[in-house]
Structure 1
Amino acid sequence: MEHLPTSTRGRGAVMLAIVAVWAAAYWVNGWVWDRLLDAAGMDPEARLTESLHFFLYDTVKIALLLTGIIFVITILRSYMSVERTRALLGGRREGVGNVMAAGLGVITPFCSCSAVPAFIGFVAAGVPLGVTMSFLIASPLVNEVAVGLLLTLFGWRVTLAYVGAGLAIAITAGWVIGRLRLERHVEPFVFETRLGGQVIDSTAGLTFDQRIQMAAEEVGSILRRIWPYLLVGIGVGAVIHGWAPEDLFTRYAGPGAAFGVIVAVLIGVPLYSNAAGILPLVEALYDKGLPMGTLLAFMMAVVALSVPEMILLRRVLRPPLLAVFIGVVATGIVAVGYLFNLLLA
């Protein structure tokens, strides 16, 4: 049996150790903050404690996710030529790539903020912008967590409606953005590949060590660029967390409210959560009599169009493209909300 060289075994051991440390940090993140805030004598039921815990927990969680996702995607991207990647997800027929990307988003259940580095990697690897947008929308919006919880709480009819609408929004919005040809409004650094601080034209012929170095540099580069936006975004979510205005919902988005869906979307945008985090509130509001379409639109706005995600995306998208993204997705969500209020009444 042929043995691996010592250097290869050593690199493998180092990589396994790094993965183990990363996994352990991610696993104990919530537990650590629970214990520290408890040791500080803070009431776990107080709104201030909830907001502080949200900020600390999500800052570490998102930083770990960003680090891992950027690192892995950079290495994978180094093996994919622009032409090969474009052929894989671009599709020969317009719209095929959007469907494939939305499907990929379903099986990669990132929250909205952690989907951003995957978005960067896809665009940098030559995937058309509109196709990548379909992934960016579908990943937080439709995944097995959302499907499982919706099925348990509201049954198969509501679940199928939500999944179908989420995929339709992701595919249609990505197709529309692709047709507008807005690539010039993506920040230039997204398209650059660097090694040793220098922009390189091709990753062909790089050694594995060089690809690891490139991935580590990419992690540092992107985190340096986006960390202020990340902290501000999570901070916005933390301030609002635990202060969800249920009374405002019942007053302005209740049964018979003509602008209820629009109000629900406007309330949902500043919040930051994933499907698992927002569904208990959706269930509570449903018990108060709010229409299902209004609640599904609210949920979609929270998980796919939150202010923290927009703050993070602003670092990689220029204002015209960001405005188009918000407008197209918000229009789709509002339309779905009103449609479901008719169909699911």
Structure 2
Amino acid sequence: MFEWIQSFADWLIFSTIQLSPDSQLGTALNFFVYDTIKILILLFIIVFLMGIVNAYFPVDRLRSFLHRKKLYGLEYFISALFGAVTPFCSCSSVPLFIGFVQGGIPLGVTFAFLITSPLVNEIAIAMFIGLFGVKTTLIYAGSGILLGTFGGWLLGKFNLEPLLSDWAKKIIENSNQSNTEYHEEENPSFRDRLPGISREAWGIVSGVLVYIIIGIGIGAAMHGYVPENFFATYLGGGGWWTVPAAVILAVPMYANAAAIVPVIEVFVTKGIPLGTALAFMMATVGLSLPEGTLLKKVMTFKLIAIFFGIVTLFIILSGYLFNMLL
């Protein structure tokens, strides 16, 4: 399929529009057409498959299950895994995080979801498979889930509930932490679910379409016009300081996976080590100033600083690990 897409891109840009393969514009447009078609196809397929999973594992059931059961630490992994199958950016994860707090789920478990949700989702996985291959995708997804699991567990051990905002504390105090069983409603058949799952998948794809186009457009411009050694000069070379520098520079930025993955691909082609580039991506999609603003509704500044600081440290460590494994 990828060869067909590349042939189409070559035909459109080099034969129909008649741009030279050696020109900067021709190279950039060819990259743009190929990556846009490939990523949209992969994205729809994987979002559709994840829609099937989500249809049989809804948020309310997860909340009820975590509330009723004593899982001896496994709840952090379950929450992180749920975060991995939800298609949210860092800001979109915050309302669901607030819902977890409101539902009485332990704070550490909610942090496990908040950390993992923007890092690992079907959008990132679909794009990673097409751009970096299965091995890199598995390492990235696995490390993101482990980061969320361990990060949530560690934050839970700090007993940070007193650092929640007054609004969040009031909600927790007023909530009746009942152990009401989850009541199964009559479930439609799998066949009846498919049209809704398809519409939801297309809704997600169309919702991030503009970000995909912008991200690939930036990547295409960098691919065609940025000098070969530009990024290697500042973040390449494998120096110990390049990973923390990449993460610290990325934290103030904001982008979702659809916008940043094509840029990361170009980073790698320009000479930046893959681990350093992935650390930059994780910091960009997992932490952002808009997310911090939204979290102010449920957290004090001190708790936000602790959350950002620990996740930043973990991402830096992940970058070093990626550079050793990839």
TM-score (norm 1): 0.59
Q: 1:115 to 1:201 in 2, by over 3 A?
A: closer
1:118 match: 96
Percent of aligned pairs sharing the same letter: 43
Letter in 1 for 2:76: N
- Unpaired runs of 5+ residues, structure 1, are 1-75, 205-241
1:258 match: 240
Letter in 2 for 1:188: D
| Structure 2 residue 126 is the aligned partner of structure 1 residue 148 | yes
Alpha-carbon offset, residue 192 of structure 1: 4.0
> Does 1 or 2 have the higher relative contact order (CA < 8 Å, sep 6+)?
2
Superposed CA offset, 1:48-88 (max 9, x none): xxxxxxxxxxxxxxxxxxxxxxxxxxxx99x99xxx95762
1:24 match: none
Q: 1:308 to 1:200 in 2, by over 3 A?
A: closer
Alpha-carbon offset, residue 307 of structure 1: 1.9
Alpha-carbon offset, residue 202 of structure 1: 5.4
Which of 244, 248, 251 aligns to 1:269? It is 251
Alpha-carbon offset, residue 312 of structure 1: 2.0
**Total equivalences in the alignment:** 226
Letter in 2 for 1:300: M
2:156 match: 178
Contact between 2:147 and 2:314, CA under 8 Å: does it hold in 1? yes
Superposed CA offset, 1:306-329 (max 9, x none): 222122223321122112211211
1:292 match: 274
- Unpaired runs of 5+ residues, structure 2, are 1-57, 179-217
2:262 match: 280
1:88 match: 66
Contact between 1:104 and 1:135, CA under 8 Å: does it hold in 2? yes
Superposed CA offset, 1:239-293 (max 9, x none): xxx7999887433311232211111101211211111110111011111011010
- Alpha-carbon distance between aligned partners in 2 of 1:328 and 1:336, rounded to the nearest angstrom: 12
Contact between 1:282 and 1:299, CA under 8 Å: does it hold in 2? yes
Q: 1:171 to 1:201 in 2, by over 3 A?
A: closer
1:320 match: 302
Alpha-carbon offset, residue 95 of structure 1: 1.8
SS at match of 1:92: coil
Which of 85, 89, 92 aligns to 1:107? It is 85
Aligned residues: CA RMSD: 3.2
TM-score (norm 2): 0.62
Alpha-carbon offset, residue 114 of structure 1: 1.2
Q: 1:89 to 1:137 in 2, by over 3 A?
A: farther
